[in-house]
Chains A and B, each alone.
Chain A
Amino acid sequence: AQSVTQLGSHVSVSEGALVLLRCNYSSSVPPYLFWYVQYPNQGLQLLLKYTSAATLVKGINGFEAEFKKSETSFHLTKPSAHMSDAAEYFCAVSDPGANSKLTFGKGITLSVRP
């Protein structure tokens, strides 16, 4: 069975600071990995995805994530936080050999201080 671990429930950074949101996964096969963002009162929006091509994936709004098989990680980063990045972020995994069901982590709330 697959699982996703997002340690901590809340991260706070200053505007302009580095954003690092951690995601570790457990999967019996090389997975596909996704980051979604949820702004208040909105649905989830796909930020980026890893589908076994390049291990460094660039997404929207300046975010990127690196797939590290040896560490079973897919951490999300952004060099310089903006106030508009404040939202909840979810990491998700799917099994390439199965249907497209996604297993989500519990999410991390990102706050950005002026």
Chain B
Amino acid sequence: GAGVSQSPSNKVTEKGKDVELRCDPISGHTALYWYRQRLGQGLEFLIYFQGNSAPDKSGLPSDRFSAERTGESVSTLTIQRTQQEDSAVYLCASSLIVRANYGYTFGSGTRLTVV
């Protein structure tokens, strides 16, 4: 596609429920990144994919968080047993290759609210 697409754009869920957030990167982009942006905070790195493998998942906050990528395309971030502190905007970005000087193209994010 022309840009990075994320769905849903907004999600309200009850505490304890599981949620899935989807990211469609730009076609042909090898690298895919997930970040979290909590209110008043900068972006926190969660995980990145090179192709379908995840060389760095050091930012995942707990074992309730997991992510996968299939077909070197779509990625899904899953949060199990959601907690109120999980409320944030979850941003996905992609880059043509994994190279430090490239910069990313970001999607518009999924705003998750846990009530």
Q: Which residues of A contact B99 (CB under 8 A)?
A: 100
- B56-74: contact bitstring with A at CB < 8 Å (1 yes, 0 no)? 1000000000000000000
**Min CB distance, A92 to chain B, in Å?**
8
Q: Does B91 contact A (CB under 8 A)?
A: yes
- Spot the interface stretch: A12-20, A44-52, A67-75: A44-52
Whether B108 and A42, one on each chain, are in contact in the complex, defined by CB atoms closer than 8 angstroms, is: yes
Q: Which residues of B contact A34 (CB under 8 A)?
A: 103
Interface size range of chain A in the complex: 20 to 34
Q: Which residues of B contact A107 (CB under 8 A)?
A: 42
The interface of chain B, by Cβ under 8 A from chain A, is 4, 31, 33, 35, 40-43, 45, 48, 50, 55-56, 91, 93, 95, 98-109
The interface of chain A, by Cβ under 8 A from chain B, is 4, 6, 9, 32, 34, 36, 41-46, 49, 51-52, 90, 92, 94-107
